[in-house]
Structure formats: structure tokens, C-alpha cells
Chain A
């Protein structure tokens, strides 16, 4: 099963939950992908030994000035405004280029060829029985999605059907989160019982359940009785709350120093295994429901 752990709001404990889940499933040799390529943190907790590294690049245009007639076709067709023609000169802005290849393909003079532009890297290794991989977007580069896409293509190429796969997402609800969730069987949203947590949970539910049609479960972290809005929302929306982690200074202090939750409180190992089993049931039910929908359509 492939699980995406996401949140909407940042700092709710996605990595805390994902790391402890992976550690509690160590016997099943899980695969952990840290897809928060802007701020990858899981390696700080799992401390894997890295074995292989690849660069992530996009193919960007390079103009052959001898052939270029400055006709402006490339600038006209680029949807990202990554090429400008000023007088006789063609300017390329690599940070805006998505690497689609249209300019190269459509240049009437054949004056454009593509060169790789490195925007980040992906690495993989082992942390005991856990296979680990993460991506890193280079400083100053805007586009996270190609790094996530390469990371997933690299690590999910082999058959992972019989292994737990955990995808740790970035905060937010836009393209990097969608790229992480795509192809997952189930999504676990980690939230906190505050107005900010509730607002951003709603947004994350819109992406995972309403847009991507995936089954969604919820973990409430830093649980306290100050605010009941998240509980009420989950009940109204029929979202199962699969785990509650209390607001406890001891937990916060342990995590600050890089201790996984299941090392702070040993009892959590069994709780995380239960959490995984609940998610498996939801994933199965989700699959059955989608078969039923397809059958009804045809």
C-alpha cells in the first residue's frame, strides 16, 4: 500500500507521524520517500546511510545564434514567458522554463537545441530495514514538482505492491502536494486542534478527497481541549480520526532533539501498527468503492 502523509498547515507533525510509522513497520521493510523537497527533514530523524545520488535537471533551450533569425516564434509559443526576443537577441530565463520542449520542436530554423539545467538532486539509501529516498531542490530554484516527479519515478519503478510505501508531503495544497499524492492508495492528514489547523485541513481534504478521490484519514496532533472545531468538522465530514497525540511538553522536547515519537513513548509502536492496519482497511474499501463506481458507469 502507498500512503501519502500530508497536512495543509505546516508544522503539524507530518514527518513525526511518517517516521514513527516507518519505524513501527520495520519488519515489513518499508520504503520511505521524503517528497518535501523544499525542506526535506525525515533524514534528520531516520539517519539513513546514503548510497546513490542523481541530479535532477530540466531540458532548457539554448539558441544557436548563427541559425536564429529572431523571428520570435519561440517567445510566442512559450506559455511560461521563459523566452523573450528583444531586437535581434533571444533571452532565455531558465527559472521560468518547465522544459516542455515546444520551442525546440517548433523553431522554423532548427536554431534551438536543449541542454540540461540542474535544479536539484535525489538520493537514496538505507536506514536499517527501511529503504529511504529524498529529493532536494537547489537554493534559489522555484520548481519543486520535477524533483518530486523524478524521485517517484526512480523509487516506484520496481514493484512495491507488497511493501509499505510512505510518501511524506510538503505543507500546502498546490502542485507539490498533488504530485506527492498522485498514485497513492490512501492519504493521512495530520492536523492540530486550532483554527489554523482546521482551516488548512479543509483545504487538504479538498485536494485529497474531492480532487484526487482518495480515501482520507486524520491524525490530531498536540491534542487538547482548547478548541473543538477540528473534531466537529471531522464528524460532519465523516472523516475518521485514526490517532490522537496529546499536547505534551515531553514529546515536543524529544522531537526538538531529533527523537522519533516511538522512541519517546515506546507504547506508540503498537499504536502506529494499528494506524497502518486501519489505513489498509480504508484503502481496500476505497478500491472496492472505485470498482463499484466503474462498474456502474459501464
Chain B
């Protein structure tokens, strides 16, 4: 079983559009399992119309809670807190839930045992069916920490399902950025497909995500979305990729029909058009790169 992860560095370059298109194409010859590793803003389901089979609660880290009846107002908790998460409220101290990183330093220092650590119901994850294969996705509640932990959980569940079903491919739609959820999404991948766009931001951010993939020794390929918006920037991106020895496997043209198909809840590859054609060609290259033949 191979694992393909779609990333971008910069947000909004078209990761999910590409992921949905590749899911549609891959499903025609392979058994696939899908995972949406963007737990802040999971969008793959908006295109694939999943039917949820199971819903599970996600328990994140713990945060501190001060019992106002027991607190003697000594302030030692506030002194040890390095996250500015303990505030004075009259004679006692209270925890700022949003700032608390759950380190428990205050819990250990409190001389009267007024502070306990409380587990947080931080989100939910789902196992769903789609027309192309099972989808694992999640929703991290607003402002919660531990997105990396939830990404790891979603991917792990997808991977176990793929192994159980004897699937050929786990296709992972990743989050933007380069931090903890991205590192969690990259872990164990056979190939990372970086979707970028020909803008100065897209080019800058692509180099950073290529650096992250290289750091964790994950092979990469690049796809340039909306490539004809700036031929100059697209050429610059190809030149950058060449210096990093990263193949550019496709240039998708700018096409307003991409939005129309998103609104209809259909992958762009289900209709004919320039983007659809470019994605089909790119998929053949990706499949070869993943060293996967087709089944029958």
C-alpha cells in the first residue's frame, strides 16, 4: 500500500481540488482510502459527499482548572506559568483556557492542591463512505490545540483501514503551512505532491515546504495550479524545482469552471476540460512515480 500526501505550504492553491480529482481518477483502476488531514478546515468532504458511518470523540490534551474554594491566592501558579495563562481575579487566580498549554506546572506547584488537570473534548473524527472509497476526516473544535495529534489519528485510522481492506493507495489531503499538522501529515508518506501557484507567495512557500519534505526525507513532486496566470512565475518555479531535483509533473491552467464544479460538488475530472486533461496526465506520472501498476 502506498501513501500519497498533498501539501502546498501556502493555503488556497488548490490542494483539495487536486485531491478530489486524483481520488476520482485513482478509483478507476485502484482501491483507495482517503484521509483529510486538514482538521482545522476539512473540505474534501464538500466535494465527495461522504455518508458518515461512525463518529468518534477526540480527547486532546489537558488544561488546568483552579478550584476557587480551595485557592488561597498565593500566586505561585502564575509565577511558574510560562504561557501567561493564569490571571488574578480578585482574591483568587483563574486559568485562561485559551492560553493554557496544559503543562501542569501550576498543578505541581500549588501548595494547597487547588489545581487539577482536566481532559478536553477537543474535536470529533469520522469514518465515512464516498463513491471513491472510505474517507477519514475530522473536525477540531474552534481554537483547540493538538491539531497534529488529531491529524496523526485520522491518518492512522485511514492507514489501518487501507491495510485491512488490502487497498492500493492512501490518498491524504493535507493542511497548509509547515508546522505540526503538516509534519504529522507528511509522516510515513511515500510521496508528497506539492500544489503551488505562480505567485511570489506561492513560490516562496513552495520552497519552504520542499525544505520540510527534504528534512524528513520524503520524495516530492510539484504541480503548478493556475499556471497561465503568470508564465514568468511558473518558469521561475520550474527553475527552483530543477535546482532541488524535484520534478514538475503538471501545469494546470486557470479555469473558472473549477469553481463551478466545486459548487456542484463534483471533482473537476468528471467533466472534460483543460484542467481535467492536465490532471489525467499528471496522475499517470504520479502512478509511475509511486511505482504502482493498475489492476486490470
Contacts and interface: CB of A to CB of B under 8 A. Distances in A.
A171 B11 CA distance: 7
Given A10-B41, A79-B62, 9 more contacts: A10-B8, A11-B10, A79-B102, A105-B108, A195-B43, A195-B46, A200-B43, A207-B142, A249-B229
A101 B178 contact: no
Nearest to A15: B201
Given A105-B80, A256-B233, A9 B41 contact: yes
B46 A44 contact: no
Given A105-B80, A253-B230, A39 B9 contact: yes
A41 B143 contact: no
A236 interface: no
B239 interface: no
Interface string B105-128: 100110000000100000000000
B282 interface: no
9 shortest interchain CB distances as A-B pairs: A10-B11, A11-B12, A100-B103, A142-B180, A172-B40, A206-B142, A38-B177, A171-B11, A140-B215
B11 A11 contact: yes
A64 interface: no
B198 interface: yes
A289 interface: no
Interface string A63-105: 0000000000000010110000000000000000011111001
A79 B41 contact: no
Contact of A101 (B46, B62, B80, B140): B80
A144 interface: yes
Nearest to B265: A195
B167 interface: no
Contacts, number: 205
A200 B263 CA distance: 15
A169 to B, nearest CB: 11
Interface residues of A, number: 62
A127 interface: no
Interface residues of B, number: 69
A215 interface: no
Contacts of A247: 256
Given A105-B80, A143-B180, A257-B200, A173 B61 contact: no
Given A15-B201, A140-B212, A226 B259 contact: yes
B12 A12 contact: yes
B46 A196 contact: yes
Contacts of A252: 226, 229, 254
B80 to A, nearest CB: 7
